[in-house]
Amino acid sequence: MTVPSTVPLTGTKTFTTGFQGRVLRTGEYRCGHTNVNVGSERLVPFVSLTITRHGAYMKHGQNGRTLLDTQRVAFFNPGETYRSSHPVGCGDHGEFLDVRADVVDDVVRAIDPHLGDRVGGPFPWDDGPLPPEAAIELERLIVEQNARDRVDPLELEERWLALFHRFVADAVAARDRRPHAPQRRSAQPGVADAVEAARALVSTRCTETASLTELAAEVGSSPFHLSRSFRAIVGIPLFRYRERCRMRLALERIRAGATDLTQLAFELGFSSHSHFTHRFHAVFGLTPTRLRAIL
């Protein structure tokens, strides 16, 4: 893919450490860049993963372009350079996880020995899935790292490392089914672009109740073709993807102390408290009330 001409980055990107151990570092990143066009080149000095919580951005690198939204985990190899753009014109923020090189090597060789021998870093992919169970563990770890006086740092570091292992293993298992995998792209020009645009819109506006017709019009497609191609490329219907984005937001709101689940249901775009609770249980295997009790 030809990378478009670059533009200066607007806004700033900051990293705030939440936990610093001997083998890994975690925390929150906030990207204020709002460039719709491709920005200037950035260098990643070490193995790093990011999990977007709000917003979406496009990574432009050696593998082409990859849309990173709230349903994906982003992987960065040490020494990798990339450019980014923000297709919806807004920034993004979420969590980062940096892991020491020798520990990364142990993890990837335990999963797939060939990854440890790759030139340029262990990850031949740019992203991997964020399963519901991993999303819940992420929220629990954030709660506990913010209350380190009540949690053994050794336990915290081991659990973060286990989550890193989970992210890598899930990416290995899913690498042939990734949304941007070439074999999943349609040969029809513009179809994959429309699906990417729909993902970006849904991820950044998941609480809105836009119709299929409205979404299709925004991405330059027809309702039928967008619905069919979205399911074929992403693997689930568009409405289920929006639901997963809402559920990710629900986890954050509950972790932040939301107690009125009826109000939360309406804020997230659900028709009722019961509908929200039913779908939450279907996705995560527990009710919002139960999650609130264990966070």
Packing angle of the helix pair 238-255, 273-284 (nearest 10 deg):
100
Instruction: Give the tokens for residue 278.
Output: 């039913």
Radius of gyration from C-alpha coordinates of the chain: 19
Packing angle of the helix pair 238-255, 132-145 (nearest 10 deg):
20
Beta partners for residue 129, in sequence order: 72
- DSSP type of residue 181: -
CATH 2.60.120.810 fits 13-174, yes or no: yes
Q: Of 37, 49, 219, which is closest to residue 130 (Cα–Cα)?
A: 49
pLDDT confidence bin for 284, thresholds 50/70/90: very high
CATH 3.40.50.11890 fits 187-294, yes or no: no
d(CA 76, CA 68): 12
Q: Answer for the pair 35, 85: CB distance below 8 angstroms, yes or no.
A: yes
pLDDT value of residue 10: 54
Residue 37 makes CB contacts below 8 A (sequence gap 6+) with 4, 5, 6, 7, 85
Stretch 178-201: mean pLDDT: 71
The residue to which tokens 């906030």 are assigned: 30
Q: Answer for the pair 205, 269: CB distance below 8 angstroms, yes or no.
A: no
Task: Give the DSSP H/E element, type plus range, for residue 98.
Answer: strand 92-99
Q: Answer for the pair 36, 89: CB distance below 8 angstroms, yes or no.
A: yes
Beta partners for residue 15, in sequence order: 29
pLDDT value of residue 180: 45
pLDDT in tens, 150-170: 789 999 999 999 999 999 999
Q: Do domains 13-174 and 187-294 have the same CATH topology?
A: no
Packing angle of the helix pair 153-174, 132-145 (nearest 10 deg):
160
Q: Residue 141 is which amino acid?
A: L
Instruction: Give the tokens for residue 238.
Output: 């568009």
pTM value is 0.90
List alpha helices for the chain, DSSP H: 101-111, 132-145, 153-174, 191-204, 212-219, 223-234, 238-255, 261-268, 273-284, 288-294
pLDDT value of residue 59: 95
Number of residues written out for the chain: 295
The ranges assigned to domains in the chain are 13-174, 187-294
pLDDT in tens, 235-276: 999 999 999 999 999 999 999 999 999 999 999 999 999 999
CA angle 16, 18, 19 (to 5 degrees): 130
pLDDT value of residue 184: 46
